Structure 1
Amino acid sequence: MAIIAFVFPLVIGTACDNEGPLPATNAQDIVDENDDHMKDTITIHVGDKVFSATLLDNAAATALKAMLPFTINMTELNGNEKFFRLPGNLPTSASNPTTINSGDLMLWGSNTLVLFYETFSTSYSYTKLGRIDSPTGLAAALGTGNVTVTIDFQ
């Protein structure tokens, strides 16, 4: 009888002390809003201009997010894009978009990050990473030569 008297208060005490937060009601409640690695929105800083970009939900974009934040020197190419060779390879799922749009952020090959600032037709294949939400002023901000760009979480 002494054993039951000893165990019973332990069980009751444990049940009463377990008053944590209420269970989440949907998946949004489960995500820690302070965990920047869960966000799909990034910022691209060019000089004093800041552009918001939305990343796609794919393996390459996830791998890119894991590298953030970083500051890179992007090289001018063809009067329509800036590129940077990443130090490692990202997962690829390349396809030909037929049209590149100003603000597209893509991966050429497995390690070349490309930011397009003009719209044009293409025969090349890229892995789509995301795009700048409002590319107005992007071409002017990037200029005609190489440029330093910082990419970070929003």
Structure 2
Amino acid sequence: MKNSFVISFSLLLFCIAIMACTLENPIASGILNGESPETQTNDAIESRLNIRIGATVFTATLLNNPTATALVARLPLTIPMQELNGNEKFAELPNALPSRASAPGTIQTGDLMLYGSTTLVLFYKTFPTAYSYTKLGRVDNPAGLAAALGSGSVTVTFERQ
């Protein structure tokens, strides 16, 4: 009888533990489904950005994260961006932004990211990477982005849409 009670009690505790693990929190649920917390908090929001390169304007959708929010607070921002590796333009920001870097594995054409906490990066080619970045957003239609950015340094204006 005592063994039956111990087994029943253990089974009851096991069932309670399983029920407690069913998560209502979408971030925690996403982690269980193989998604990172960064992915979960990076849902696209209505915050849109114009990226002006000479006479050409691209629109970008920003992500819902503290880094993008901090960037928006600094807009409009006109900065000289330098060429790097034939696939990106970068600029050092005067003040750090909050960061939560992760390794994307592959950079996509049009990705707007932060390297470290002060380097704003606009990618104009797709390529694999082992580096870590904080995602800010993405150019909605990156067709013509590489041509607009050119092969050297360029002045880029980021402004709210």
TM-score clears 0.5: yes
Residue identity matched to 2:76: P
Residue identity matched to 1:54: T
1:117-137 per-residue CA deviation (whole Å, 9 max, x = no partner) reads 000000000000000000000
Residue identity matched to 2:159: D
Q: Counterparts of 2:147 and 2:72 in 1: how far apart (Å)?
A: 26
1:52 to 52, 55, 59: 59
CA RMSD of aligned residues (A): 1.0
What is residue 3 of structure 1 aligned with on the other side?
none
1:60 deviates by 0.3
1:85 to 92, 105, 108: 92
What is residue 151 of structure 1 aligned with on the other side?
158
Q: Counterparts of 2:108 and 2:46 in 1: how far apart (Å)?
A: 23
Q: How many residues align?
A: 117
Structure 2 unmatched ranges of 5 or more: 1-44
Structure 1 unmatched ranges of 5 or more: 1-37
1:70 is the counterpart of 2:112: no
> Taking structure 1 as the reference length, what is the TM-score of the superposition?
0.75
What is residue 120 of structure 2 aligned with on the other side?
113
Alignment of 1:19-38 (within 5 A): none
Residue identity matched to 1:64: L
Runs of 4+ with deviation above 6 angstroms: none
Secondary structure of 1:129's counterpart equals strand
Secondary structure of 1:152's counterpart equals strand
Q: Counterparts of 1:122 and 1:149 in 2: how far apart (Å)?
A: 24
Larger radius of gyration: 1
Residue identity matched to 2:48: T
Q: Counterparts of 1:140 and 1:73 in 2: how far apart (Å)?
A: 17
Q: Counterparts of 1:42 and 1:128 in 2: how far apart (Å)?
A: 14
Q: Counterparts of 1:39 and 1:153 in 2: how far apart (Å)?
A: 11
1:39 deviates by 5.0
1:142 deviates by 0.1
1:6-47 per-residue CA deviation (whole Å, 9 max, x = no partner) reads xxxxxxxxxxxxxxxxxxxxxxxxxxxxxxxx9510100001
1:134 is the counterpart of 2:146: no
1:70 deviates by 1.2
> Taking structure 2 as the reference length, what is the TM-score of the superposition?
0.71
Answer whether contact 2:52 2:156 (CA < 8 A) is retained: yes
Identity of aligned residues (%): 64
1:104 to 78, 103, 111: 111
